[in-house]
Structure 1
């Protein structure tokens, strides 16, 4: 092959390689746009359901309405209608003032039921993973304030306030 033909072939190959990289880049952009649209659609659907059910979502709940499971799979985050209220936490026969002080401390004063601690503790009363094997302490439901308080109460019945560093 003469030099001109070789240069022409090399130029065409480089165009193809350049186009391939550009096409791959465009496909990634389209995939991200599709994922964003799917997440937005899921958020809209969940917001509509919450509105229909009369649930007022906090701005933080709206922001965190879907969770990325890390593999590009998005799932609805738990919708929490109420925060860690006195009514919910004090529905159990423990000292209400103490329980609410623990909630305030464990949530950093936010009373946010979706708080996750450094050791993966969850919810209003920051239920530690060592307690997740208890029948009333399924980690999947610990962001629900009533469920979290019931789990905490079962721990408290066995151990008092000892398991909480904020006591």
Structure 2
């Protein structure tokens, strides 16, 4: 949570951002998913194959700086870059955000319950 605050996430978006982090990486900064479709890294699982050029497919005229693949494992860099992505494209780049949005509609307490249950799901 402190990393998200330090990266500049607003209080309004903290619960949703934390939920996405937990869904994407379980809060593990060194999380890495690498296969034919993606090379996703860090807390927000930023995909180097997508963000390496700084553009979300089909979103012209809204470029951001290219993702630094190695720095993507740094929690603060990852959270700051994710914030830039969010400010341009909202939650759409994270498929896990759909589940988080459903939970968030019921309020912050439900988000925290969801995160707690996800940690102990077998």
Q: In the aligned structure 1, how far is the partner of 2:45 from the partner of 2:72? A: 9
One of 14, 17, 24 as aligned partner of 1:106: 24
TM-score where L is the length of structure 2: 0.61
Q: Does 1:123 align with 2:38?
A: no
What whole-Å deviation, never above 9, does each CA across 1:111-151 have from its counterpart, x for those lacking one? 11010124210000000121122326211200000000111
Count matched residues: 80
One of 96, 105, 117 as aligned partner of 1:166: 96
TM-score where L is the length of structure 1: 0.45
- Compute the RMSD of aligned alpha carbons: 1.4
2:51/2:66 contact within 8 Å kept: no
What whole-Å deviation, never above 9, does each CA across 1:24-56 have from its counterpart, x for those lacking one? xxxxxxxxxxxxxxxxxxxxxxxxxxxxxxxxx
Could you tell me which residue of structure 1 aligns to residue 112 of structure 2?
Answer: none
1:137/1:148 contact within 8 Å kept: no
1:132/1:138 contact within 8 Å kept: yes
Could you tell me which residue of structure 2 aligns to residue 157 of structure 1?
Answer: 87
For structure 2, the 5+ residue unaligned runs are 55-64, 98-122
Q: In the aligned structure 2, how far is the partner of 1:133 from the partner of 1:155? A: 12
1:122/1:142 contact within 8 Å kept: yes
Could you tell me which residue of structure 1 aligns to residue 107 of structure 2?
Answer: none
- Pick the structure with greater CA Rg: 1
Secondary structure (helix, strand or coil) at the match of 1:121 reads strand
Secondary structure (helix, strand or coil) at the match of 1:124 reads coil
Secondary structure (helix, strand or coil) at the match of 1:117 reads strand
